[in-house]
Structure 1
Amino acid sequence: MADTPQAASHQYVPERQVRGNERAVMLLSGSFVLAFIGLAALDLDALSRIVDTSFGYATQYFGAYWQLLMLATFLVALVMAFSPLGRLRVGSSTPDYGNFSWLAMIMATLLAGGGVFWAAAEPIAHFVDTPPLFAARLGIEGGEEGAAVPALAQSFMHWGFLAWSILGALTGGMLMQLHYHRGWPLKPRTLLYPVLGERVMHGLPGALVDTFCVIAVVAGTVGPLGFLGFQVAYGLTALFGIPESTWLPAAVLLGVIPIYLFSAITGLDRGIRLLSRFNVVLALFLAAFILVLGPTAFIVDGFVQGMGTYVDNLLPMATFREDPAWLDWWTVFFWGWFIGYGPLMAIFVARISRGRTIRQIVLAMSVLAPVATCFWFAIVGGSGIAFELANAGAVSGPYNEAGLPAAMMAIAQQLPMGSVIAVLFLVLTTIFVATTSDSMTYTISLTMSEGDEPPTWLRVFWGLVLGVMAMILMLMGKGSITALQSFIVVTAVPVSLILLPSLWYAPRMAMHLADGDEPVIDNEAGTIPPPRR
């Protein structure tokens, strides 16, 4: 797309000096890590009770708000993309990265371990136990052939348009304008600059905003790292007969930490980009293999019908509130997880998207990536449902007995060359989690440093913090990892309030950029002045 004259004329503004309290953010975040590990070691049951109680309050009082926030973010982003504002190119006249590398970094980073963990397990879970919306409307019993399409549609809902949009479709472009055109730093606090002005950029309020967002990402990244250890350990036991032990998952993680540390240290242009490209190529190979040699017709029909059911029921599924208990452990849990990731993912998107148009960013985040994710879920999860229909219990049995790792292994081993494909799935899962860990290591470090390139020592420090925290909690048992995974829903409460202003200010700032104005904020009024006409 051609640059608009106004957008192309803007040059990068050197970053403003922010009395940023980077040390305060590091101290507060580090204190949380130590406190969580300490309480888990002293009394895991007490920690679980605290997390469960907080989880309950968060889902009860914020669940409906999160559902509306997710839906509104998607809709506002689409309106911006297809309006004249979508042509605006932000940051520079040409993109920093080619299309494949750019999309690969987005897909590999944001999809993470969920691309394998949940792609295998969630469709079979919804197939066996039909989601309440479809059970009430269609009268479908779990395990019937008619339950396949609703199961896929519900999975698409949790990993589709709304989930991806909250991860940077609006906030990514908004941060890019504030950073590349006004010089404010790529930090979570910058999202509140349009509301609070410079007062949030300095002092304790800004430090607290950054800390909440860092803690949410630490919880959301350590959780998948821990589950990766259990996943690969289960696979090694199932495939090669390696005896189960407490130390085996930790040993797996010891092999993963150097991978994502090296990637994070070498930066966006080398390690993160190359690892993401390899990840996407391996995922495409496995997808093609399963599509050709697996239950092809079932996969294609399931994807087409599942997408149709998903789009047709998007509003009812997005606003469903009739079964709070089910919602808490499915939709609202996922929404809390994605919201918790939102600000730091937006920073990562802003960092790799300079030179892109608003339309490109929104379509990549809100349309292309979700459709690709849903197709991947149809391939992996759809195969699981097909195998389950052909042989009841073939996938649901292992899943009920051993959880997420067993579902993936059960599906892989029923394919041609099952053992080889199972090993490749383990490699893919490892690289998926590594690409998220390296990107989040980089972004957390960026939040605590000046400029666009965090120092190497800080990347090493936070990379080790994530890995060591995961290892310690793993050695305490799955309960510690589960508690941390649930805790991200609690951290989503303040983070969701940080994301809310983007619904109004992202379009307003784009209007100023389109009019040739910098997105200047009236700090006295705390609002953006109206565009010149």
Structure 2
Amino acid sequence: MATESEQRRLGDPIVLVLTMGFIIAFVALSLWDIEYTAAAISSGFGWTAKYFGSFFQALLLLTFFIALFTGFSRYGTARIGGTSKPEISTFRWLSMILCTLLAGGGVFFAAGEPIYHYLVTPPAYDTEAATPAAIAPGLAQSFMHWGFLAWAVLGSLSAIVLSYSHYVKGKPLQPRTLLYPVFGERILKGWVGSVIDACCVIAVVAGTVGPIGFLATQVSFGLSELFGAKDGFALQLTILAMLAAIYMTSALTGIHKGIQFLSRMNVFLALAIAAVIILFGPTLFLANSYLQGMGNYLGSFFEMATTTNVTAPDWWMQWWTVFFFAWFIGYTPLMAVFVARISKGRTIRQMITAVAIVAPVVTTLWFTLLGGSGIYFQAEGSFDLTEALKNFEFDIATLTVAQALPGGKIMAAAILLLTTVFVATTGDSMSYSIAMVGAGHDEPNPWVRVFWGGAMATMAGVLLYMGSGQIGVLQQFIVITALPVSLIILPTLWTGPQTAKAMWHDEQRTATD
């Protein structure tokens, strides 16, 4: 019979049952009545976005500014994990942070979203669409969705609370530990804590299966357009199997091998693509557009961040600002687990600077290179993505922009490869994080990591069999799962700074002893 520690190493049974129950129930309901399932989730999606969208926006705003205040106060000098030597080199650490989230959709939306906002004027602006005056607002709106607010919520205050509770207090590296400063030991034991963990795991499953499934459809479409392969479920399933094999192998080898390797590969490939665009693309246009776009972003920051359905159409808020903000909220607990795990030896200031400042700036540059180039070619008449983007066909947008870039088909193939490796990074990182949540410690059973990776790939495969629309239905579910997760991370607005203060005082006492 397995010991209690061995059972824990295999994962929390309640988290396993609830999460797998969700996966099985979603698939079963879809098989039973696709239209009913889609309608029910769409209704919940609309209701949550309408009544809690403003709450999500306020939560991200407060998290960003409180995190900055905490990181750049004297408490920001406190080190995570009680050690002065970082466990992972700076380049690898930043690569892992960047690639884990950006893969979750940033690469998928980077080409198309700026063009969309160029063609359809965002609510915070009154510029005429598809004119030179619409370029900067189009980029700025994309920066708002993928910039400072989005990144700050993922690995700042929540990561501080988890780091101190785990490395100093010896508490498990699980989402329930975010509530430990409020409720004490009782939240860590029993079924309530397991339900909290399960809610967070379900949110990540919903948020990760979508990109995995869409990646299969995007690459399948790309191979069909570029090389004449037969687009369809068989090719999608083959791509999905190859993707799953990559990220499951990476998760199996762990933080210090596979996950780091994929992250570095992502960064080097992205740098190579960026270099080609800068050297041979519309460089002056991109430089001017970035400067103006960033100026618009900073100048209209609060107006864009606080736009609600009072002044914006319901559909726009649901499918843009609220959708993305809810997606990031859903990822927060497990992303914070991951950031806490890889940031041992870093100061709070370093962690917040990396997550809330460096990563967003890099993201805006990437969106400008792809999306800004897309705007340039759209304005020049090289292609017309108006209908495709109004129908939210971002796979078409990505491939169209990629083929218009220097190198044509070679660049398009490189971007498809980059997208694949980015999504693989998300798959391996989140498989690892889910396994850590079940085990409650830093080194979960390797085969549990593989199991979760396989479970998400299997779910994506089944949903693709039913049609890619069902993947879209699952993505709507992200907004619904963000509601309970937002309540779990809400206390970090005050417990985050308090924890940083406690870490700093602990270090001061240790230094004087």
Q: Into which bin does the TM-score normalised by the smaller protein fall?
A: over 0.9
Q: CA deviation at 1:401?
A: 6.6
Aligned to 1:316: 303
Work out whether 1:299 is the aligned partner of 2:289.
Answer: no
| Structure-1 separation of matches of 2:304 and 2:273 | 30
Q: CA deviation at 1:400?
A: 4.9
Secondary structure of the corresponding residue to residue 63 of structure 1: helix
Equivalence map 1:238-317=2 (5 Å): 238-317=225-304
Aligned to 2:463: 473
Equivalence map 1:42-191=2 (5 Å): 42-91=32-81, 92-135=83-126, 140-191=127-178
Secondary structure of the corresponding residue to residue 171 of structure 2: coil
Please say if residues 174 and 440 of structure 2, whose CA atoms lie closer than 8 Å, have aligned partners that are also in contact: no
Equivalence map 1:199-218=2 (5 Å): 199-218=186-205
Gaps of 5+ in 2: none
Q: How high is the sequence identity, in percent, across the aligned residues?
A: 48
The AA in structure 2 aligned to 1:381 is G
Aligned to 1:509: 499
Aligned to 1:522: none
Please say if residues 9 and 438 of structure 2, whose CA atoms lie closer than 8 Å, have aligned partners that are also in contact: no
Per residue, is there more helix in 1 or in 2? 2
Aligned to 2:436: 446
Residues 471-503 of structure 1: per-residue CA shift (max 9 Å, x gap): 110110012100111101100000000010001
Residue in structure 2 matching 1:433, options 413, 418, 423: 423
Q: CA deviation at 1:21?
A: 8.1
Q: CA deviation at 1:409?
A: 1.1
Please say if residues 72 and 349 of structure 2, whose CA atoms lie closer than 8 Å, have aligned partners that are also in contact: yes
From the superposition, tell whether residues 150 and 506 of structure 1 become closer, same or farther in structure 2 (CA, over 3 Å). Answer: same
| Structure-1 separation of matches of 2:246 and 2:68 | 37
Aligned to 1:528: none
Pick which of 33-42 and 243-252 moved more.
243-252
The AA in structure 1 aligned to 2:60 is M
| Structure-1 separation of matches of 2:467 and 2:492 | 39
Work out whether 1:193 is the aligned partner of 2:180.
Answer: yes
Q: CA deviation at 1:247?
A: 2.2
Please say if residues 154 and 328 of structure 2, whose CA atoms lie closer than 8 Å, have aligned partners that are also in contact: yes
Q: CA deviation at 1:18?
A: 9.1
| Structure-2 separation of matches of 1:427 and 1:417 | 15
| Structure-2 separation of matches of 1:421 and 1:395 | 19
Q: CA deviation at 1:109?
A: 0.6
Q: CA deviation at 1:174?
A: 1.5
From the superposition, tell whether residues 401 and 344 of structure 1 become closer, same or farther in structure 2 (CA, over 3 Å). Answer: closer
From the superposition, tell whether residues 18 and 435 of structure 1 become closer, same or farther in structure 2 (CA, over 3 Å). Answer: closer
Residues 328-385 of structure 1: per-residue CA shift (max 9 Å, x gap): 1110000110000000000000000001000000000000000000000001000000
| Structure-1 separation of matches of 2:14 and 2:374 | 48
Please say if residues 108 and 432 of structure 1, whose CA atoms lie closer than 8 Å, have aligned partners that are also in contact: yes
| Structure-2 separation of matches of 1:506 and 1:159 | 23
Deviant stretches of 4+, over 6 Å:
17-21
Aligned to 1:383: 373
Secondary structure of the corresponding residue to residue 154 of structure 2: coil
Please say if residues 276 and 406 of structure 2, whose CA atoms lie closer than 8 Å, have aligned partners that are also in contact: no
Please say if residues 185 and 450 of structure 1, whose CA atoms lie closer than 8 Å, have aligned partners that are also in contact: yes
| Structure-2 separation of matches of 1:147 and 1:424 | 29
| Structure-2 separation of matches of 1:147 and 1:430 | 31
| Structure-2 separation of matches of 1:113 and 1:417 | 26
From the superposition, tell whether residues 21 and 384 of structure 1 become closer, same or farther in structure 2 (CA, over 3 Å). Answer: closer
Q: CA deviation at 1:113?
A: 4.3
Please say if residues 140 and 294 of structure 2, whose CA atoms lie closer than 8 Å, have aligned partners that are also in contact: yes
Aligned to 1:524: none
Please say if residues 77 and 504 of structure 2, whose CA atoms lie closer than 8 Å, have aligned partners that are also in contact: no
Work out whether 1:411 is the aligned partner of 2:398.
Answer: no
Instruction: Provide TM-score, normalisation by structure 2.
Output: 0.95
Q: CA deviation at 1:517?
A: 7.9
Secondary structure of the corresponding residue to residue 166 of structure 1: helix
Please say if residues 113 and 429 of structure 1, whose CA atoms lie closer than 8 Å, have aligned partners that are also in contact: no
The AA in structure 2 aligned to 1:46 is Y
Please say if residues 19 and 202 of structure 1, whose CA atoms lie closer than 8 Å, have aligned partners that are also in contact: no
Secondary structure of the corresponding residue to residue 125 of structure 2: helix
| Structure-2 separation of matches of 1:180 and 1:116 | 34
Gaps of 5+ in 1: 1-14, 520-533
| Structure-2 separation of matches of 1:271 and 1:392 | 40
Q: CA deviation at 1:243?
A: 2.1
| Structure-1 separation of matches of 2:447 and 2:489 | 30
From the superposition, tell whether residues 517 and 382 of structure 1 become closer, same or farther in structure 2 (CA, over 3 Å). Answer: closer
Residues 138-189 of structure 1: per-residue CA shift (max 9 Å, x gap): xx22111111100000000000000000101111121101100000011000
Aligned to 1:10: none
Residue in structure 1 matching 2:340, options 346, 350, 362: 350
| Structure-2 separation of matches of 1:133 and 1:102 | 36
From the superposition, tell whether residues 517 and 291 of structure 1 become closer, same or farther in structure 2 (CA, over 3 Å). Answer: closer
Please say if residues 103 and 425 of structure 2, whose CA atoms lie closer than 8 Å, have aligned partners that are also in contact: yes
Q: CA deviation at 1:393?
A: 4.2
Work out whether 1:496 is the aligned partner of 2:486.
Answer: yes
From the superposition, tell whether residues 237 and 192 of structure 1 become closer, same or farther in structure 2 (CA, over 3 Å). Answer: same
Q: CA deviation at 1:280?
A: 0.6
Residues 54-92 of structure 1: per-residue CA shift (max 9 Å, x gap): 111211221111000000000001101111011111102
Q: CA deviation at 1:244?
A: 2.4
